[in-house]
Structure 1
Amino acid sequence: MVDNRQTAAEIINAIGGQDNIISAAHCATRLRIMVKDKEKIDQQQVESIEKVKGAFFNSGQYQVILGTGTVNKIYEEVIKLGVGGTTKGEQAKEAVKSGNTFQRAVRSFGDVFVPIIPALVATGLFMGFRGLIMQEEILAIFGMTPNDISENFLLFTQVLTDTAFIFLPALVAWSTFRVFGGSPIIGLVLGLMLVSPALPNAWAVAGGNAEPIQFLGFIPVVGYQGSVLPAFIAGIIGAKLEKRIRKFVPDVLDLIVTPFLTLLIMITLALFVIGPIFHSLEEIILNATVAVLKWPFGISGILIGFFNQIIVITGVHHIFNLLEIQLLEKFGSNPYNAIVTCSVAAQGGAALAVGLKTKSAKLKALALPSTLSAFLGITEPAIFGVNLRYFKPFIMGLIGGGIGGFFASIFGLKGTGMAITVIPGALLYLNGQILLYLLVNIIAIAAAFILTWMFGFSDKMLKDKEELR
């Protein structure tokens, strides 16, 4: 078994040596390397390294898939060998200079929303557990009924499940200021102003229990609880405005004048211009999303289940975070998650077929751990390390995802959260949906497995005899 230090040295050598490396960082599964010259990378040599499960360029970085846990250890060895380390966020700022305008915009969008996701994941799990303990069958085990649940306990569960969405504009504005170079604390305060108790509550207005404040007789002003786009746009403009103001304000007055002018100008714009316009746009996007998800005969499930992993490999899948957040905020449920889960599970099923069918010891050692990773919700090792390498397994995985997505759509499955799938994602379906959730995942895995076994892979597809060892 090759040790981690040797693996790190082999990776450095294969990508052109230490002199070709600007910096290294890592995420949950991948070593992310900024290089000076792409041409010096020996792709075949990188992919032949024992612990490497695939490698590719994305978001201006050369990303080497190593898998959960392994990547941390090899990153440490890479740093010990003299490569400059940096954080994923710092490296992303360098990477953002590469790519076309659309790629840079999507990358920035992802940088804003990814840090918020853990809070929303936790909220979704709280919703799932509340749904579980409120089921009559569960309560009956303890000799209770829903009427026996105290109001104080329900209030406690509301604190757990509602807080992140009530203050979502504050989280979004904070993260947006951070990404676009403003002061995060100013962004946080701006976001809190958008949900100030002094404003009519957005949910109360929607429910007919409150009226918007009318400025100038035609501008409706409300709080923006649970809203995303107004805070996002206000954050972008606010961060740029703060930097512009700071250029003209003397240093001795910066601490007082810059935050004062930034907040005064931005809350005025946010409440009277940005808020009304982009909240309306947000409603249009939400209604369009709901309309697509309601397409009859499971059509939306087939399309989303099939194309999701193609979107993932392009790196623009974070743009759908907005849609999932909107669904959760508006309805407290997320049908998109159930469909996407099937696309993830299916890629695991395809990789499992490859791992069990091949006679190559090396490919087995790559495919089977990649399968487990996919079943835990991380598909990169399975996609880049196995399925895309031989292409047909990837296509069979897409078909399996479409089949599973069809049944998820037909059954009307809706998760209580976002961002976790397959085995961990089961926690989002504890509110009486768990059996159907398991069924659609099994269907997706089985379809991809059978198609890959029968039509998608044979050892004849291996590039050379070395892979059979």
Structure 2
Amino acid sequence: MDYQSVASQIIDVVGGADNILSAAHCATRLRLMVKKREIIDDNEVESLPLVKGCFFTAGQYQIILGTGIGNKVYDEVIKLGIPGASKNEQAAAAAQNGNAAQRLVRVFADVFVPIIPVMVATGLFMGLRGFLTQPDLLAMLGLTTDSIPQNFLSFTQILTDTAFSFLPVLVCWSAFKKFGGSPVIGIVVGLMLVHNILPTSWDVAEGNAEPLLFFGFIKVNGYQSSVLPAFIVGFLGSKIEQWLHDHVPNALDLIVTPFVTVLLSLCLGLFAVGPVFHSVEMALVDVVSFLFQLPFGVGGLIWGALCQVIVITGVHHALNLVEIEMLSKTGWNPVNPVGSCGIVAQAGAAMAVAVKTKSVKMKSLAYPSAVSGLLGITEPAIFGVNLRLVSPFVWGCVGGGVGGWLSALFGLQGTGMSVTGIPGMLLYLNKQLPLYILINGIAFAVAFALTYIFGMKNQDAAA
């Protein structure tokens, strides 16, 4: 495939290089910051080779190309002279667009998305550890749990516990980097928030340790597995550092700025930000937990039906905070299987379109989009197929609701996040795996059947 030709055509149809401020990409999409949205013809963009759909949101014109293609086209776009903006520059340009809620979501996304791969890996390690230590599996091999060497268990515990124990370090590093501070200072401040001198929040909550008492009334403990305190400290610390750089004489900047930044950041984190926002994040976890504990699986029904609607708005990035919090506090993620059902259901709707339509072009678009959805990437199916025809998207939401309802009803929970569909099975390498496969299969089947029967009008099938 001539990706350079595709890149050149994309640049032309979006108004030329002069209309593009910067370019970025994700797993499936080329994201362009453009000066004038109104001069772009969506139909012309969608007629290009490899393009599966397009949409404009949060100040970005996003062109859906598919897994493994978006990054290759992006590389060619940069080679053709489009300014190679950094992520910070891209975020700064995006921040000028959209309403306050959209800008806030982008801020959360910019901070949390870089640490998600580590959360994914940790979740997979948890699933694998649970699989290898299952009594039933060990019995098949003539072993028991006592047969597992302690050194092996310790090794797996390092793999599964490190990221969550030092989660504030990751968040503080990312926040400092996002808001223009020195990432290495973020790392140091994050490490201080989890220093072993501080009693852990788990020990304090269980009554096994007493928090440190400062000024006679401020109770302080470590913030292992916390997210919001590190996020706020990272934001405030980066702003303090920037202010000091602007006001401290150059001759003293190297000494004064990091010293004062670290000192004030730690004081804010331990004595003000930490106590307040730790309570806030606990409340967030309680709210989501309450939703999934509603009787008769109602919470899963609601979430499963609406999760892909949330994806359209882009707000889903902010929800990473909730999943990270739940995993760090409980070790389990009830949101993941419900979200997986929503994704797989959209794949089922796209597959129904592919089977029923008589259009060769729609078939060539819908089949790979459905496969992409089964692998956990739903944008091609949503924007390239289902939303175009409207009804398939609605029936996909219905299928996601049914699957989510069953997931909540049976109490299904993942060991990690951000891996869904077929790859998501790695988070359920325990006795839950058959149930995970079942509910996703039902979500797919419901969406497929309803779309095939009711979701396509004659003109849509022939289009």
1:127 aligned partner: 126
Deviation at 1:459, TM superposition (A): 4.6
2:157 aligned partner: 158
Q: Which AA in structure 2 matches 1:394?
A: F
Superposition map of 1:106-121 within 5 A: 106-121=105-120
Deviation at 1:93, TM superposition (A): 2.5
1:417 aligned partner: 416
Is the counterpart of residue 60 in structure 1 residue 55 in structure 2? no
Contact 1:358 1:458 in 2 (8 A): no
Contact 2:21 2:35 in 1 (8 A): yes
2:327 aligned partner: 328
Distance (whole Å) between structure 2 residues aligned to residue 369 and residue 324 of structure 1: 29
Seen in structure 2, the aligned counterparts of structure 1 residues 93 and 102 have a Cα distance that, compared at 3 Å, is same
Distance (whole Å) between structure 2 residues aligned to residue 305 and residue 278 of structure 1: 28
Contact 1:300 1:406 in 2 (8 A): yes
240-249 or 357-366, which deviates more: 240-249
Contact 1:348 1:371 in 2 (8 A): yes
Name the SS of the counterpart of 1:55 in structure 2. strand
Deviation at 1:89, TM superposition (A): 4.8
Distance (whole Å) between structure 2 residues aligned to residue 416 and residue 403 of structure 1: 22
1:405-464 Cα deviation digits (max 9, x unpaired): 0111111100000011011110000021100000000000000000000011145037xx
Contact 1:357 1:458 in 2 (8 A): no
- Output the aligned Cα RMSD: 1.4
Q: Which AA in structure 1 matches 2:224?
A: Q
Name the SS of the counterpart of 1:49 in structure 2. coil
Query: Structure 2 unaligned runs (5+)?
Result: none
1:300-327 Cα deviation digits (max 9, x unpaired): 0100000100111100111111111111
Contact 1:16 1:42 in 2 (8 A): no
Deviation at 1:84, TM superposition (A): 2.8
Deviation at 1:79, TM superposition (A): 3.0
Deviation at 1:88, TM superposition (A): 4.6
1:406 aligned partner: 405
1:146 aligned partner: 145
Contact 2:334 2:412 in 1 (8 A): yes
1:130-151 Cα deviation digits (max 9, x unpaired): 1101111211232110111122
Give the structure-1-normalised TM-score. 0.96
**How many aligned residue pairs are there?**
463
Query: Structure 1 unaligned runs (5+)?
Result: none
Distance (whole Å) between structure 2 residues aligned to residue 237 and residue 219 of structure 1: 20
Contact 2:395 2:455 in 1 (8 A): yes
1:383 aligned partner: 382
1:330-368 Cα deviation digits (max 9, x unpaired): 111101101010000000000000011111000000000
Name the SS of the counterpart of 1:317 in structure 2. helix
1:315 aligned partner: 314
Deviation at 1:99, TM superposition (A): 1.2
275-284 or 219-228, which deviates more: 275-284
Distance (whole Å) between structure 2 residues aligned to residue 85 and residue 263 of structure 1: 33
Seen in structure 2, the aligned counterparts of structure 1 residues 215 and 400 have a Cα distance that, compared at 3 Å, is same
Name the SS of the counterpart of 2:332 in structure 1. coil
2:244 aligned partner: 245
Deviation at 1:295, TM superposition (A): 0.4
Identity of aligned residues (%): 57
1:8 aligned partner: 7
1:202 aligned partner: 201
Contact 2:337 2:412 in 1 (8 A): yes
Distance (whole Å) between structure 2 residues aligned to residue 74 and residue 202 of structure 1: 47
Contact 2:357 2:460 in 1 (8 A): no
Distance (whole Å) between structure 1 residues aligned to residue 88 and residue 68 of structure 2: 20
Distance (whole Å) between structure 2 residues aligned to residue 254 and residue 89 of structure 1: 24
Q: Which AA in structure 2 matches 1:457?
A: M
Distance (whole Å) between structure 1 residues aligned to residue 84 and residue 174 of structure 2: 23
Contact 1:127 1:161 in 2 (8 A): yes
Q: Which AA in structure 2 matches 1:101?
A: A
Deviation at 1:218, TM superposition (A): 1.9
